[in-house]
Structure formats: structure tokens, C-alpha cells
Amino acid sequence: MSTPVSPRTLRAGLVLADPNSGSTQQVIVLQYSPESLSRSLQPQAVGAESGDRVDALRLKAPPVETYKIDAELDATDQMATAAGAPNGLLPQLAALEMLVTPSVSTLRSNQALAMAGTLEIVPVMMPLTLFVWGRNRILPVRITEYSVTEDAFDPQLNPIRARVSLSLRVLNVNDLVPGSRGSELYLAHQSQMEALARKFAYGSAADVGLTR
């Protein structure tokens, strides 16, 4: 009797894309997919602000959606290979931190502009970040919080075990340029959610004690 083959488990990650063309620049695959994630949706209602009763059921925009994940990193297995892990987990942590940090060349360029007397320096344009959690969730996001706890170290004090916490705010059509790669990905995700909702077996009024 053959042993059943377990389906390959996809890994979660973050994809960096060019904000204009949408082409993939870098992919950060999480070493272990988090065992859980939490998310929240804050409806953007009109009635609470206007006080007008006709607006009580109106929505002015998509909800503000946030994700929170905790990821485990461990360099133990890598240390046992021929290549080893001479810097521990620092490369992985640095790659994540670069998602929220402008490059040195950009900072130097802005410094030069400031020293030259430039009155208005355009904020730094970062790559479009996509949060990928399986094929049903590919979302443009902004990292709103990044924290790391380093739990163990090698003799050179490089971290070899760490826990990373990420808070991600989903960027919707109100945040992104219409027709841009990020905006289209958000709309594609919402279309997918609508299709999934149609697969749900809704009940009847009688199921909850209503007569009509």
C-alpha cells in the first residue's frame, strides 16, 4: 500500500515590485509560515460623521484592513551546512528592515539637495510591497510596524534564533493610483473575495426566527 503524498505547503512571504511597471524586484520568503495571523477590518461609514439618517447605511470607501503576523527565524540548520551562517540571521533581518528604510544613496542625495538650498524634497518612493499568503491572498500593503526579538546568539553575537512581528496595512483603491499594479491587485483580491462569498450556503429567514 503506497503512502499518501502530503500536499506541498506553500510558504508565505513579501514581494517587492516596481511601483510603476509592477515587475517583481525581490521576494522575501518567510523561513516558516506563521502558525496564525490576525486581521481586522474597520468599516469606513458615512453616517457616524454626517449625522444624516439617510447616510447610516452608506460606505464611503473600502474598510481599513490590517494584518498582524509573527514569524520564527532559525539559523541552526544553516549553520550545519558547508556554507554555514557566518552572520547568523542578520542577512534575513536586514532584508526585512530594508522594506521600511530608504537606501543610503537616496539619503545622501536628499542631504545634498538640502545643503544646496532645495526648498522641497520629494519623499522617498519605495517599492510596492505585496503580502502573499497563498494564492487567494495577494495584497498590496504598507508595513506599519516591525519588531524583532533575538533569542539566541552565536559566539560572535550574531542572532541565530529570532521572532519577527509585522503589522501590515492593506493599501486599497483610495491609497493607490487608479490603474496601477497595486490598485489592480487589490481589486482582483476583492473580486476573489466576492466569488468566495457566493459559495457560502446562506440560510433562510426562518432559520433565525424571522417570518419575512
What percentage of the chain exceeds 70 in pLDDT?
93
What are the pLDDT digits (tens) for 147-174? Answer: 999 999 999 999 999 999 999 999 999 9
CA–CA dist 46, 32 (Å, integer): 41
Domain ranges, residue 149? 13-99+126-193
Name the β-bridge partners of 164.
71, 148
Is the pLDDT at 62 greater than 60? The verdict is yes
Per-residue pLDDT at 55: 75
Please check whether residue 169 lies inside any domain of the structure. Answer: yes
> Order of strands across the sheet with 128-132?
24-29, 13-17, 128-132, 138-153, 159-170, 59-74, 37-45
Please check whether residue 154 lies inside any domain of the structure. Answer: yes
Total tally of structural domains belonging to the chain: 1
Is the pLDDT at 47 greater than 70? The verdict is no
Is the pLDDT at 212 greater than 80? The verdict is no
Please check whether residue 95 lies inside any domain of the structure. Answer: yes
What are the pLDDT digits (tens) for 107-134? Answer: 899 889 888 888 787 788 889 999 999 9
> Torsions phi, psi of 89, nearest 5?
-95, 5
Is the pLDDT at 48 greater than 60? The verdict is no
Average pLDDT (19-45) is 90
What are the pLDDT digits (tens) for 187-198? Answer: 999 999 999 999
Q: Which is more confidently placed, 71 or 3?
A: 71
Please check whether residue 77 lies inside any domain of the structure. Answer: yes
Per-residue pLDDT band at 7 (split at 50, 70, 90):
low
Mean per-residue pLDDT over the chain, rounded: 89
Give the distance from CA 210 to its chain's centroid.
41
Please check whether residue 165 lies inside any domain of the structure. Answer: yes
pTM: 0.85
Is the pLDDT at 82 greater than 70? The verdict is no
Please check whether residue 41 lies inside any domain of the structure. Answer: yes
Please check whether residue 174 lies inside any domain of the structure. Answer: yes
CA–CA dist 57, 128 (Å, integer): 33
Q: Are 17 and 181 in contact (CB under 8 A)?
A: yes
Please check whether residue 52 lies inside any domain of the structure. Answer: yes
CA–CA dist 162, 72 (Å, integer): 6
What is the CATH number for 94? 2.40.30
Per-residue pLDDT at 19: 85
CA–CA dist 100, 27 (Å, integer): 15
